[in-house]
Amino acid sequence: MSTEEDTNAQKHHLGIAKYGEGALSYNNYLKVEELKNLQVCMSEPPHHDEPLFIIIHQTYELWFKLILHEIDEAMRLLNEGNVVRATWFMRRVATIFKQVLVNQIHILETMMPVDFLGFRSKLNPASGFQSSQFREIEFAAGMKEPRIMQFFANEPATLAQMQKRLDQPSLSDAFYELLIARGFAVAATIAEDESEACVEAHEQRVKELRKIYEQPEKYYDLYELAETLIDLDENIALWRTHHVTVVERIIGFKKGTGGSEGVGYLRSTLVKRSYPDLWNVRTAIEL
């Protein structure tokens, strides 16, 4: 790709592509016609409920795109030491999760289990497992599981993008780097294993985080940032809880189209956290 094409592709990715010469209108600015043509049913004849299923997933993916855009900016600002503005964008991310993503999954409960069965078999083997943007959000937040990469083995461009996200620092890394710059004795990253060194590194972090959580006014910018990270973590966990409940209501304990055992697998993910030390500090603090 030439540099010019590269820049155009980047602009497109961020949604700032240049318009042609025609007069601007609501419909052409928002590409409404193009949007309306992006729902392609797999059922034949199209099942009445399949557009609902497609549109709800597409809207999730659009919000995921914006969330990644905001997280990238927050990380850039954190690297510059601009904590206030980074916190502002993280507040936006947490609000999108809380007000939209956690709640909208329940719209699917207006689809009868028998209606979902009317087109479910056509979706095999596509699955939420393969939502690369959801995985990128997990990685960017700090929840890096290399095993996830297997789901993208047949999609080279996606795999490369995921690898980039896996290799680059996460919000968790940026947060602890910031603490180090402010004089706190914490590890920026911790190799997660069963070793004593790993346990000690987490204990040391909690010890240092206590200073912030026991005197929030003294460290208010760090406290506020930490709480927006917790907001994001909490709302990802809440999304998982709402999603698995809706899944149970619609398909019970049937296996997933991605090959997992379904509800049993999804329940096992409910304990995942990006910032375990920020959760643990609450147990440790004292007056």
Shortest gap between Cβ of 103 and ligand HEM (angstroms)? Answer: 12
Q: Does 260 bind ligand HEM (CB under 6 A)?
A: yes
CB neighbour class for 274 (10 Å; exposed up to 12, middle 13-18, buried from 19): buried
Q: Does 142 bind ligand HEM (CB under 6 A)?
A: no
User: Between 63 and 102, how does the x/- string for binding to ligand HEM read (CB under 6 A)?
Assistant: ----------------------------------------
| Position among 41, 52, 54, 56 found at the interface with ligand HEM (CB under 6 A) | 56
Nearest CA to 53 among 113, 141, 134?
A: 113
Helix 132-141 × helix 50-79 angle, to 10°: 30
Binding to ligand HEM, residues 194-253 (CB under 6 A): 243, 247, 250-251
Count of helices and strands (H, E) across the chain:
14, 0
| Position among 39, 43, 95, 131 found at the interface with ligand HEM (CB under 6 A) | 131
**CB-nearer residue toward ligand HEM: 105 or 179:** 105
Nearest CA to 240 among 148, 102, 126?
A: 102
DSSP state of 100: I
| Position among 95, 98, 118, 128 found at the interface with ligand HEM (CB under 6 A) | 128
- Three-state SS string across 158-199, please? HHHHHHHHHHCCCHHHHHHHHHHHCCCCCCCCCCCCCCHHHH
First-last CA distance in the chain = 59
Q: Does 127 bind ligand HEM (CB under 6 A)?
A: yes
Binding site for ligand HEM (CB under 6 A): 56-57, 60, 105, 108, 116, 127-129, 131, 134, 243, 247, 250-251, 256-260, 262, 265-266, 269
